[in-house]
Amino acid sequence: MRDAYHDELEALTDRLVEMTRLVRSAISRGTTALLDADLQLAESVISADEEVDRNHRELERDIYELMATQQPVAVDLRVVITALRMASDLERMGDLAEHIAKIARMRHPDSAIPASVRDTFVEMGAIAERIVTKAGVCISERDTEAAKELEADDDAMDRLHRRLFRVLLSKDWDHGIEPAIDITLAGRYYERYADHAVRVARDVVYLVTGTRENGN
Amino acid sequence: MRDAYHDELEALTDRLVEMTRLVRSAISRGTTALLDADLQLAESVISADEEVDRNHRELERDIYELMATQQPVAVDLRVVITALRMASDLERMGDLAEHIAKIARMRHPDSAIPASVRDTFVEMGAIAERIVTKAGVCISERDTEAAKELEADDDAMDRLHRRLFRVLLSKDWDHGIEPAIDITLAGRYYERYADHAVRVARDVVYLVTGTRENGN
């Protein structure tokens, strides 16, 4: 039998999963906006970040209330503390998707992404979507296997990130400084987005196992 | 009269202040390493980040223990939750200082910083040091006035960050792509360093007043 307290703990999970959906949609649409120089889409990502922020604030408020009124201990305490951390990472992922959309908006009607790095950004966008989808599964299913897969996706993201720099520094690069700055920043945003998803997954592992493999 | 429980809460504050000292030293030495292409100094910043990480892990462990054994409520609960957040921000500031040192190391024996942006990085480094010093005062003195000053420092950091892009995009820029990438990333690291310090200060305000002005 469930009581109101455990329903509240369960509701935290649902809210976190909802946040993964929102930031997945944001990175998906942000990537398209960046690749297609789609101003309307970029604006929609930028304005939708408020919903992510609101979810974050409400989650924090719920957690504080729950801690103050229920004083969770042991596993339940771990659940709420970890939920706080995950919410913070997911909120940041929303910011990073918004930053990507802002690059698209700043360069509109031009595209910030020259043809020579387009494929790389297509892949980075795909990995970002995959990694946040898996983070959502990790949270909802308490799935530590998905958490391991996600580390491999993060490695793939890091390789794409390094590939970007090789293109920028090759003698064939003839687009000048401005696109190089945009690409440097956008690449960094995708890489950080994946890092935060990894932190979320590691928090799920911590939740399930009670131990951390590292200080992250 | 103090009891062991309140001594433990007090110890959290001391540990956080110690973390501000460590990440202040890291950004100070990281900036010098970057400006002077000082490899030895860069290496020392990179290896010293382990101490920041260790402090972070120990603080987290202490907080979890304190929560599990003492079940703090009301103001005390706010103190421990906020300490968790602040420790996480300070740990990240250490990472950012380390990233700056890594740029210095990567370009050694050359300097990553051309003369035309040297003054800007000198100023960014000075603001970063000032802002983390103030964050330390905020924490140790529960000083909400220092927290306000810190927001002004953050604005100054943002202005310097924008100045960097103006230099990179001016027609006088003749250093090519590689230094432009380094400067873009280093500029971003200083800006994020200041952002995290602002979050720390806002957490102090939240601690003292019990309310947040925004969702940060």
- pLDDT tens digits, one per residue of A117-167: 999 999 999 999 999 999 999 999 999 999 999 999 999 999 999 999 999
- Please say if the pLDDT value at position B104 is more than 50: yes
User: Is B168 close to A185, i.e. CB distance below 8 A?
Assistant: no
CA distances from A52 to A57, A64, B67, B101 (A): 9, 18, 28, 33
User: Is A68 close to B77, i.e. CB distance below 8 A?
Assistant: yes
How many structural domains compose chain A? 1
pLDDT score, position B213: 67
Closest to A122 (Cα-Cα) out of A30, A24, A38, A196: A30
Contact B136, B146 (CB under 8 A): no
Task: Report the length, in residues, of chain B.
Answer: 216
User: Is A45 within the bounds of a domain?
Assistant: yes
Token pair 């400006």: residue: B35
- Please say if the pLDDT value at position A36 is more than 70: yes
Mutate to test the interface with A, among B52, B71, B181, B206 (most CBs of A within 10 A): B181
Q: What is the value of pTM for the model shown?
A: 0.95
Contacts of B84 in chain A (CB under 8 A): 81, 84
Half-sphere exposure of B13 toward its Cβ, with a 13 Å CA cutoff? 15
- Please say if the pLDDT value at position A13 is more than 90: yes
The domain in which residue A26 lies consists of: 4-209
| ipTM field | 0.94
User: Is A18 within the bounds of a domain?
Assistant: yes
3-state secondary structure string across A133-157: HHHHHHHHHCCHHHHHHHHHHHHHH
- Please say if the pLDDT value at position B2 is more than 70: no
- For residue B171, the domain's CATH number is 1.20.58.220
Between B85, B165, B181, which is nearest A165 by CB?
B181
User: Is B181 close to A173, i.e. CB distance below 8 A?
Assistant: no
> What is the separation, in whole angstroms, between the first and last Cα of chain A?
36
Between A88, A168, A215, which is nearest B57 by CB?
A215
Average pLDDT rounded to a whole number, residues B181-196: 98
Instruction: Give B122-178 pLDDT, tens digit per residue.
Output: 999 999 999 999 999 999 999 999 999 999 999 999 999 999 999 999 999 999 999
Instruction: Return mean pLDDT, chain B.
Output: 94
Mutate to test the interface with A, among B177, B188, B190, B192 (most CBs of A within 10 A): B177
Q: Give me the percent of chain A exceeding a pLDDT of 90.
A: 82
Contacts of B88 in chain A (CB under 8 A): 85, 88
Contact B31, B130 (CB under 8 A): no
Task: Name the band, by pLDDT with cuts 50, 70 and 90, for residue B211.
Answer: confident
Between A84, A177, A188, which is nearest B180 by CB?
A177
pLDDT score, position B99: 98
DSSP B88-145: HHHHHHHHHHHHHHHHHHHHTTS-SS-HHHHHHHHHHHHHHHHHHHHHHHHHHHT-HH
pLDDT score, position A216: 46
Task: Name the band, by pLDDT with cuts 50, 70 and 90, for residue A54.
Answer: very high
Average pLDDT rounded to a whole number, residues A195-215: 87
Contacts of A67 in chain B (CB under 8 A): 77, 81
User: Is A78 within the bounds of a domain?
Assistant: yes
Average pLDDT rounded to a whole number, residues B32-59: 97
User: Is B216 within the bounds of a domain?
Assistant: no
User: Is B200 within the bounds of a domain?
Assistant: yes
pLDDT score, position B115: 95
* Nearest chain A Cα distance for residue B204, angstroms: 16
Half-sphere exposure of B209 toward its Cβ, with a 13 Å CA cutoff? 13
User: Is A215 within the bounds of a domain?
Assistant: no
pLDDT score, position B210: 81
CA distances from B83 to A132, A158, B87 (A): 28, 31, 6
- Please say if the pLDDT value at position A9 is more than 90: no
Between B71, B91, B185, which is nearest A188 by CB?
B185
CB pairs under 8 A between A and B: 66
Nearest-by-CA chain B residue for A86: B85
Instruction: Give B56-102 pLDDT, tens digit per residue.
Output: 999 999 998 898 888 888 888 889 999 999 999 999 999 999 999 99
Task: Name the band, by pLDDT with cuts 50, 70 and 90, for residue B216.
Answer: very low
pLDDT score, position B49: 98
- Please say if the pLDDT value at position A215 is more than 50: no
Query: What is the Cα gyration radius of chain B?
Result: 19
User: Is A29 within the bounds of a domain?
Assistant: yes
Q: Give me the percent of chain A exceeding a pLDDT of 70.
A: 97
Nearest-by-CA chain B residue for A172: B177
Contact B195, B216 (CB under 8 A): no
Tokens describing residue B211: 């309310």
User: Is B18 within the bounds of a domain?
Assistant: yes
